[in-house]
Amino acid sequence: SVDHAWSQVVSGFNYKMTITTRFNGQTNECHFVVYDQSWTSTRELTNDECHVIHHKRNAIREGHGLLLKALYN
């Protein structure tokens, strides 16, 4: 999902986005900057950075806890 998106005027535009992705129990937050200068037909990814904010191990541990609670309560 796109969490934030904004633009910055430079010698063209910097389009900045923060995106959250989820895959196989892992949640990542990614920050991207795309530089666009329409009059020169320039468009390039100038920055990309992702980090894990929720790992499958935590999801497994949480799921395991819920399973134990359901079995023994």
Q: pTM to 2 decimals?
A: 0.63
CATH topology of domain 2-72: Nuclear Transport Factor 2; Chain: A, (3.10.450)
E strand residue ranges, the chain = 2-10, 12-23, 26-37, 42-54
Q: Is the pLDDT confidence value at 70 over 80?
A: no
Residue 10 per-residue DSSP state: E
* Span 38-58, average pLDDT: 84
Q: Is the pLDDT confidence value at 60 over 60?
A: no
What's the pLDDT tens digit per position in 9-45? 999 999 999 988 888 888 888 999 999 999 999 999 9
Q: Is the pLDDT confidence value at 65 over 80?
A: no
Rounded distance between C-alpha atoms, residue 25 and residue 40, angstroms: 42
